[in-house]
Structure 1
Amino acid sequence: MPSLFPTPRSHVLTPRSFDELLGGGGGPATVGALRASERSWRLLVVRALLDTAATAPVGPLPPPSDAWRLLTRAWEASRQAVEALLAYPAVGVWAAHTLRRLRGSAEDDAPLWADTGHLHALATAAAVRAGLEFRTDVPVRHGWAVLPSLGAMRVPEAGEWGVAEAAARAGGVRIAGRPLEGPDWHPLAELRADGCTLLLDPVDPYRALRKNLAAAPLDSSAGWQELFGEAWEILRGTDPEAARALADGLVALVPRPRSERFRPHSASSGDAFGAALTSFPDDGEQFASTLVHEFQHNKLSAFMHLFTLYDDRGTAGLHYAPWRDDPRPLGGLLQGVYAFFGVTAFWRRRPHPLGQFEFALWRSQTAYALRAIGRSDALTDLGRRLVAELSGRLEPWLAEPVDPRARSAADLAIADHRATWRAYHLRPGPEEVRARVETGPSPAEPALVPGTPERGFDTRAVLLRWLLADPAGFEALREDPGATVDGARPEDVDLVTGRTTPALAAFRARIARGDGDPETWVGLGLAARAEGDPAGEALLARPELAMAQYADAGGRPDPLELGRRLASRV
């Protein structure tokens, strides 16, 4: 009998593949090697889950041994079908999440038997793929019975948590007595382009990559298909080899509702090689950038399953990540620089105003983060080599000419994000807050105490994107910017359009009346810098200190005068 868990094999990357991945790339052969290594990783996790779940409660489902027998039958009938199913990204999330629950390192509102019992759904999907006749039970979640990689059946009578019979005979496959050809069955759609096919999965309970979701079938996939076609043409035209590699590596796309324009949401997971979660894109170009971003995460996660880039014991600290509002651990920062290296390379080849802005923004922010990572003593030798390779490839891009308007906009967005992050997350000590100017330069970096942002740090960057990409739309949002760009204020509009004198007055007045949140202090610094006031650079360099000194003085000092005094210390 063939074994689902053959003798372990070692995986070796060729020198070329190794160098490609260290440099942020990876062609089709390299991605093929990663897929092979991820197969072994997946089987190890599934095997660990099965061993750990041997004594777990089964609830209303049959014992796991029944599912295992059905899965083995499917393997004997069609190894290729079962291999494809086991490689399905959501299967990896299920196995890893359930194993963590069994080991006590993860929690979930779902009954444990529903997670462990998902093996029955997996076996059923394998049997359907292999064309077997069978009868079994599968778990029902929130009224849905899901067969991984195939689709979902609506079973409202089973309630929130229940079971449904799944059977295949000469008459076809039925779940809860309903045929897969009927109106209650929602099969997965395929997104197709010349040379690339992705499953569009809105139903798998593990598709969210980090938590369980109820099935939410789409009314239509036509909009996704149209934008995917546009994105694929852009990817092929931008870098044909990278596009082929992406097509070989990505398997499934998890759709999420449309988010605010210029604020897409996307995610991936090291447990789900081949998957990308994304909100409905603004256009094909944004879709292409998102696919590049998430596939970079996929590649690095697979690489890190083979090699160690940093020492877990030395990564307790949190760091500034130029693409996040929250402080990040070293591993998260590494993932970010790898992803945004790919994003930078993508926008480098998009010469229109928005593309120039994105290129200027992300080349600077990625280089900034790479320099920070390079100072960490937690990196392994290989981790330092990866940082050096990415830095070496990025360095020449920093000198490439960019349209002055786009460059100026990117400089504003960079200064805004860095200063706002400091204002929210750093806290100077009492002795520094009350120090006199003549005591000399400021001492060591203040303590990191993660705060809770009032709005997205990218708010003014989003306004800049509107201004560059859609001037007419920007004019329409001027009157009430917060209605279109969440968190935006009229003074932000003045700032990004160069009306710095009224912006400065508005920020100053807001602070005077007691509404001086971090965004306002940073806005004051940005406007003052544009006006040539030395307070500007000081407020941007140490906004957390300016805010603390202002509060300590009871809100009496003029904020600009305070900034000018601070300038001699920073």
Structure 2
Amino acid sequence: MTPGLHVLAPESFEELLGGTGGPATVSALRASERSWRLLVLRALLDACADAPTGPLPPPADAWRLLTRARAAAEDVVEELLAYPAVGVWAAHTLRRLRGTADGDAPLWAELGHLHALAASAAIGAGLDFRAAVPVRHGWAVLPGLGAMRVAGAADTAEVSAVAGRVLVAGRPLDGPDWHALTRLDADGCALLLDDTDPYRTLRGPVPAEPVAADVWQDLFTEAWEILRGLDAEDARALAGGLVTLVPRPRAERFRPHSASSGDAFGAALASVPDDGEQLASTLVHEFQHNKLSAFMHLFTLYEDQGADRRLHYAPWRDDPRPLGGLLQGVYAFYGVTGFWRRRTHPLGRFEFALWRAQTAHALHAIAPSDGLTDLGRRLVAGLTARLEPWLAEPVPEPALAAAELAVADHRATWRAYHLRPDPGVVARACAGVREKGRAGSVPEALRVSAPGPAASEYRPALVPGSPARGFDTRAVLLRWLLADPAGFEALRADPGAAVSGARAEDIALVTGDTAGALRAFRERILSGGGDPETWVGLGLAARAAGDPAGEAVLARPELVMAVHAELGADADPLETARGLVSRPA
């Protein structure tokens, strides 16, 4: 019998290349991900034949129970096998067996999760059975159902079911030690709030951390109403694809944390959001990742360049990213841009202006990459064509100016941390600056506004960087200012208490106190505190003041910093930067 092939309908194929995907497209991706999941499970079973089983029975026993359950209730078992955390477990454990991943948990416990999966399937199918499952950090977890707290130092627990009565470690599922997963319900969408599965955080195993679900239900209801109100068809597609929401602790305001994984189609990990709107944006973001990961399981968008892979600037990250990571980013932030495009309040206008600029920048940067396949180039071209008209849409001045500041800040700070000019280049630039900035004294290729081929001769090296703070620090202050002016006023006295890394001069910069900000940044540099954030702040303030030094700092902060370090701590930072600006002959 010839195996069936997954074929995307032409309209679904074009939707995904354009960054969208309706309910039918998402349904097709779920079907293809089922096959992907089964392939990984088959590979895992083949690889674990000689692996240690510890105090548990062999994996074959679990597989037989899983097969029994599927024969009794195929739909139940199919849904469980598609559970997002199952994919993370299978892929992670397979990597451990192949020696390409490490783990703190004993390998037998990782493999033993198959017994927990089989027990969940048997419970869902209504079977009578007995099975042993691993106990980790005092919890016996049943994927998709919940977890039982187990007293003592037991490594395993018995799960049994007789005539519909289920016991875990001798205790019933309706007892006080059982924590069932919460179903978040909204009108037209339901997600499981998974706070127990060892593989829910999309990496290696972690302990169960039950959370209070009521706050998540309220936020989810609000988020879903926003999504459905913006586009009912897109909302239906998301509801048909997402399965679990993995709760994480609250992060700083305006600094949410979220994640997804190509091994876990249907999962979105999110810190407790500020409000339902932030959660709605997060769900859009992570579902974009879900769709592209599934699409990339079917089609090749870029060539793996191995150890020689080139790293790129990603406008939403503090670290350089490989081509595959950047593709994921532009796909996700295309969706995020579309979400904020339809939010009309000041913060929404800021987010739209910020992410349309940064996503367009990244798309244009990778379009000529020789690592893209023809299909990858089609995807980049499709996203670019859809995004470009948005660049011309009007945005009110306060939000637009804030977004432009945030864009310049992130790009320049990234350069300052991750690019290093050649020492010979620095020496040549220093020699020119010492000539008092006389016209022609700085080599043409090193002047920050040098056009054309001369500018292309300047090729700083990409290096690892260790940021002193998040590159988004001033952007977070701008969000406070736009969304909560009263709250912003309250944080003026100690900005770092509410926004990690924020300083008084950052407050001056974002509120338009250009002279105060310029003076504070300059003084910090002269006193020896010239970290990249301070230099970039100096550039932003100088640009706002109309000083040509701003042009130099923002265009090539790494060169200005290196030249200043060579000239000595007493050199005026503004004069150093001015010496690198092109002047007419």
How does the TM-score come out when normalised to structure 2? 0.95
Count of matched residue pairs: 562
Q: Which 5+ residue runs of structure 1 have no aligned equivalent? A: 1-5
Q: Which moves more between the two structures, 191-200 or 548-557?
A: 548-557
1:193 and 2:223 correspond: no
Which residue number corresponds to residue 355 of structure 2? 362
Contact 2:126/2:164 (CA < 8 Å) preserved in 1?
A: no
* Amino acid in structure 1 at the alignment position of 2:180: P
Using the alignment, how far apart are the partners of 1:542 and 1:103 within structure 2? Answer: 45
Which residue number corresponds to residue 323 of structure 1? 316
Structure 2 residue matching 1:546: 3-state secondary structure: helix
Q: Which 5+ residue runs of structure 2 have no aligned equivalent? A: 433-440, 447-456
Which residue number corresponds to residue 77 of structure 1? 72
1:441 and 2:445 correspond: yes
* Amino acid in structure 1 at the alignment position of 2:538: L
1:404 and 2:397 correspond: yes
Q: How does 1:186-265 map to 2 (within 5 A)?
A: 186-218=179-211, 220-265=212-257
- Which of these residues, 338, 351, 363, is aligned with residue 345 of structure 1? 338
Using the alignment, how far apart are the partners of 2:108 and 2:48 within structure 1? Answer: 10
Which residue number corresponds to residue 562 of structure 1? 576
Q: How does 1:524-563 map to 2 (within 5 A)?
A: 524-563=538-577
The Cα shift of 1:170 comes to 2.7
Structure 2 residue matching 1:323: 3-state secondary structure: coil
Which residue number corresponds to residue 3 of structure 1? none
* Amino acid in structure 1 at the alignment position of 2:291: K
Which residue number corresponds to residue 92 of structure 1? 87
Which residue number corresponds to residue 57 of structure 2? 62
Map Cα deviations across residues 239-259 of structure 1 (whole Å, 9 max, x no partner).
111000000000000000110
Instruction: Indicate the RMSD between aligned Cα atoms, in angstroms.
Output: 1.2
Contact 1:278/1:290 (CA < 8 Å) preserved in 2?
A: yes
Map Cα deviations across residues 132-155 of structure 1 (whole Å, 9 max, x no partner).
010110001111110000000001
Contact 1:268/1:294 (CA < 8 Å) preserved in 2?
A: yes
Which residue number corresponds to residue 503 of structure 2? 489
Q: Which moves more between the two structures, 355-364 or 171-180?
A: 171-180
Map Cα deviations across residues 500-552 of structure 1 (whole Å, 9 max, x no partner).
10110000000001010000000000000000000001101111111111111
Which residue number corresponds to residue 462 of structure 1? 476
Using the alignment, how far apart are the partners of 2:164 and 2:302 within structure 1? Answer: 55
1:130 and 2:125 correspond: yes
The Cα shift of 1:211 comes to 2.5
Which residue number corresponds to residue 141 of structure 1? 136
1:286 and 2:281 correspond: no
Using the alignment, how far apart are the partners of 2:14 and 2:550 within structure 1? Answer: 44
1:380 and 2:357 correspond: no
Structure 2 residue matching 1:54: 3-state secondary structure: coil
Q: 1:171 to 1:302 in 2, by over 3 A?
A: closer
Using the alignment, how far apart are the partners of 1:44 and 1:396 within structure 2? Answer: 42
- Which of these residues, 536, 549, 560, is aligned with residue 522 of structure 1? 536
1:301 and 2:301 correspond: no
Map Cα deviations across residues 24-83 of structure 1 (whole Å, 9 max, x no partner).
000000000000000000000000000001110000101111111111110111001100
The Cα shift of 1:313 comes to 2.4
1:274 and 2:269 correspond: no
The Cα shift of 1:279 comes to 0.2
Q: How does 1:13-162 map to 2 (within 5 A)?
A: 13-159=8-154, 162=155
Using the alignment, how far apart are the partners of 2:131 and 2:21 within structure 1? Answer: 43
Contact 1:158/1:164 (CA < 8 Å) preserved in 2?
A: no
* Amino acid in structure 1 at the alignment position of 2:530: G
Map Cα deviations across residues 273-319 of structure 1 (whole Å, 9 max, x no partner).
00000000100100000000000000000000000000102771111
The Cα shift of 1:156 comes to 2.8
Moved over 6 A (4+): none
* Amino acid in structure 1 at the alignment position of 2:575: E
Structure 2 residue matching 1:567: 3-state secondary structure: coil
Alignment identity in percent? Answer: 74
* Amino acid in structure 1 at the alignment position of 2:369: S
